[in-house]
Amino acid sequence: MSTGELLNVEPLELKFQFELKKQISCSLQLLNKTENHVAFKVKTTNPKKYCVRPNTGVVLPRSTCDVMVTMQAQKEAPPDMQCKDKFLLQSVIAPAGVAAKDITPEMFSKVPGRVVEECKLRVVYLPPRQPPSPVLEEPDEGASPKVSFDTGNVNGSEAPRQNVDSDDKSSEARSLIAKLVEEKNAAIQQSNKLRQEMELLTRGSNKSQGGGVSIIVVIAIGLIGLVMGYLLK
């Protein structure tokens, strides 16, 4: 804080949280310590870079006035984040009832019998605010271990593997047995059919030859024997 005869100025450093391509603002507070109206004017060494609102004004007796200083968006950061820009705040006692529109540059001229106070302000760049670091959550006690579905591991240990080859062999064996049973049933049906045909042929042969056995009957009996022998294996 600067304590003069007319105004207290706070702060004495204009601190900007510097960020590229972004407008940044900070404020000043002016406190009139007198029973008079005090006119003020704000100057800067780099007027194209900053916008001051209000840059001139009047502080009523025992009152305060806030001044907003805005830095225009910057395309690049200065070396080592150092800034040489400066501000100068001038103040002078003004006639009672004076308004901001009545303030002229001549009011701050240093002439005999007029006291013009001056307060120099420097500019400070601060690094941009960093986002808070993420907080890692600790696992709850008694929580079940996580299972990795991609690798099949539980807490790094290998899960037991199923015997896939054994299951495949059992399936093949069952299929082969079912196929053999089906062939056996088919053979039995064929044998029964041949037996019935043989009996029909035998009856027909007996009627035509008076009890003699034909060659066809002999062949049929032989076929039945072969089939039955295959089934008994």
- CATH number for position 97: 2.60.40.10
**pLDDT of 229:** 60
**pLDDT of 125:** 94
Which tens digits make up the pLDDT trace of 173-193? 787 888 887 877 777 887 777
Same-domain status, 179 and 114: no
Choose among 57, 41, 51, 63: nearest CA to 118: 41
Residues 6+ apart with CB under 8 A from 202: 213, 217
Query: Final residue of a domain: which of 126, 155, 189?
Result: 126
Going by DSSP bridges, is the β-strand pair 117-126/13-17 parallel, antiparallel, or unpaired?
Answer: parallel
**pLDDT of 140:** 57
Which tens digits make up the pLDDT trace of 195-214? 777 777 767 655 555 544 45
Same-domain status, 122 and 175: no
Amino acid, single-letter form, for residue 163? N
Evaluate whether residue 146 is within a structural domain.
no
Evaluate whether residue 147 is within a structural domain.
no
- Please tell me the distance from the alpha carbon of residue 230 to that of residue 206, in angstroms, as a whole number: 30
Same-domain status, 116 and 175: no
**pLDDT of 26:** 96
Number of structural domains the chain divides into = 2
**pLDDT of 185:** 79
- pLDDT tens, per residue, the chain with 233 residues: 666 899 999 999 999 999 999 999 999 999 999 999 999 999 999 999 999 999 999 999 999 999 999 999 999 988 889 999 999 999 999 999 899 999 999 999 999 989 999 999 999 999 887 665 565 555 555 555 554 444 444 444 444 455 555 566 677 778 788 888 787 777 788 777 777 777 777 676 555 555 444 566 556 666 666 656 655 55
Which tens digits make up the pLDDT trace of 45-56? 999 999 999 999
Query: Final residue of a domain: which of 93, 126, 159?
Result: 126
Beta bridge partners of 118: 90
pTM over 0.75: no
Domain region containing 10: 2-126
Evaluate whether residue 152 is within a structural domain.
no
Evaluate whether residue 223 is within a structural domain.
yes
Q: Which residue has the tokens 């949280």?
A: 17
The sign of the torsion formed by the CA atoms of 228, 230, 231, 233 equals positive
